[in-house]
């Protein structure tokens, strides 16, 4: 009789173990199938959609006045000095945090702006002695994103350009 009691206890214990392993295996397989099913139901391209952040705070403008920039005209393999220009910029950002970040980075931004303008061909097609404001704004916005990070600077406007006479 004692042998029957021992065999019943070991059978009951292994039965519970198989039941528990079966339940865990079923949950794992069901979870994997559920993941696969819902992943295939997402339309293509929707996985890569990034929600655009809403602006925090009002639009702020930071002025960069009288930036002296040497301008070079590049044609084919030659570079010709056109002259020195004074450029007035308005950098627009949303929120106080971004405004503080841009003001703290103002020396680095100014250096990057001077470098970008003097190394790029930004003259107008119809008038080679005048800066193309749209080209300049696009180049400077890209440079600003490199210095302070993407999404900080909303817009850069060229307020005034003045060529110094030689």
Beta strands in 15-152 (DSSP E): 59-75, 78-94
Interval 4-25 mean pLDDT: 69
At 25, which helix (H) or strand (E)? helix 2-41
At 137, which helix (H) or strand (E)? helix 133-148
Nearest CA to 161 out of 82, 84, 81, 88 is that of 88
Strand partners, 75: 78
Nearest CA to 122 out of 97, 102, 139 is that of 139
Q: How far apart are CA 68 and CA 163, in angstroms?
A: 10
pLDDT in tens, 101-160: 999 999 999 999 988 888 877 777 787 777 788 888 999 999 999 999 998 999 999 998
* Terminal CA-CA length for the chain: 117
Q: What is the pLDDT of residue 120?
A: 78
CA 41 to chain centre: 29
Write the CA distances from 155 to 35, 47, 108, 131, 143, integer angstroms. 42, 29, 18, 18, 12
Q: What is the pLDDT of residue 165?
A: 66
Does the structure show a pLDDT above 50 at 50? Answer: no
Phi, psi of 152 (to 5 degrees): -85, -50
């Amino acid at each position: 009789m004692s042998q029957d009691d021992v065999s019943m206890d070991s059978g009951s214990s292994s039965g519970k173990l198989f039941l528990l392993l079966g339940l865990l295996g079923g949950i794992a397989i069901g979870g994997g199938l559920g993941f696969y099913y819902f992943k295939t139901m997402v339309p293509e391209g929707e996985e890569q959609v990034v929600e655009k952040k809403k602006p925090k705070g009002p639009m702020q403008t930071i002025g960069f006045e009288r930036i002296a920039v040497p301008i070079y005209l590049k044609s084919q393999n030659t570079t010709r000095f056109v002259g020195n220009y004074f450029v007035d910029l308005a950098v627009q950002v949303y929120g106080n945090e971004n405004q503080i970040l841009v003001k703290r980075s103002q020396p680095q931004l100014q250096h990057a702006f001077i470098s970008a303008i003097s190394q790029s061909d930004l003259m107008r097609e119809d008038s080679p002695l005048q800066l193309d404001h749209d080209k300049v704004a696009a180049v400077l916005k890209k440079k600003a994103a490199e210095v302070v990070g993407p999404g900080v600077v909303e817009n850069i406007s060229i307020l005034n350009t003045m060529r110094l006479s030689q």
